[in-house]
Structure 1
Amino acid sequence: MPVLILGLVLIFMALLTPSAGFADEESVVLVAHPAVGTSTLNRDTARAIFAMRQRTWPDGQAARVFVLPNDHPVHARFAKELLAVYPHQLQLSWDRLVFSGTGQAPTRVFSQSEMLERIADTPGGLGYLEREHLDDRVQVISME
C-alpha cells in the first residue's frame, strides 16, 4: 500500500512539473540578434555560452550574452527550465571567471524590454525573453 501511494504522489508531481518540451505562451525562449547564423543550440552549448565558458557561437561569431538580475523570476525560470541549472550556479561560474581574471560576467539588463533592445542592437547578442515580449527585431533560437 505505501508503494502505491508513493507511486501516485510521483505521478501527481510529474503532472504539476512543467516540461521543457512543451512551450506555452508564457514560456521563456532563447533569443538572438537576427544576423546570428545559428538557429538551434543544444542544452550543453547554451549552458556553456551562458556560463561564459564558450565565448563564440558555433559558427565562430563572438557571443554577447545578456541576463536579467538573479532575483528576477524570468531569469530563474530560464536557468531552471532551459539550462537545467540553478541561478546561483551561473553566478558562481561568473564569479570564478571575474575573480580569477580569466573572463567576465555577462551584461546584466534590468527588464525584458531592455533585454529585447540590447539583443536587437548587438551583433552576436543572446538572451532570453517570455514569448509575449518577442518581436521581429530578434530571432528565436530553438533548443535541441
Structure 2
Amino acid sequence: MHIACPHCLAVNRVPETRLHDDPTCGRCGKPVLDGQPVELNDQTLATIAGRTELPVVVDFWAPWCGPCRQMAPQFQAASAQLKGRAVFAKVNSDDSPAASSQFAIRSIPTMVLLRGGREIARQSGAMGAAQIVQWVKSHTG
C-alpha cells in the first residue's frame, strides 16, 4: 500500500498487515498513519490524495465557522477510530482557495472522500464521530 507522508510528501510502501502499527516515513521518520487528522493546503492536498492508496477524508473548514469548530473533535475521534483504514485531513478553506475552488466548496464544513485523488463522496454539515465513521465505511466498503 502506498502512503504519502503528510510531513515531507515522500511516498512510503506499507504492507497492508502493518497499516495499524504506526508506520513511520522512511525519509523524515515522522508518523505516516498516527490516527490524527493532518493539516493540508493548496500545495499538499493533491500530492497526498493522489499518491495515497488509502481513502482520504478531507474536512474543508474555517476557524470562524461555529459548526466547523463543533465538528473538529468529532472528526478527530473518527480519525482515531479509522486509523489505518483512511487518512483524515483538514483544509482551511480561507487559506486554501485553490483547493476550495477545485472541489467547488460552497458551504462549510464539507467533507470530501477521495480515492486516487478523485472524489467518490461528499457530505456537507457537521456530523458526529459515529456518523462520520459510518459515512466513510459506507463508501469504502
Q: Is the structural similarity TM-score above 0.5?
A: no
Q: Which has the higher contact order (CA 8 A, sep 6+)?
A: 1
Task: Please report the TM-score for the alignment, with normalisation by the length of structure 1.
Answer: 0.31
Structure with bigger helix share is 1
Structure with bigger strand share is 2
Which structure has the larger Rg over C-alpha atoms? 1
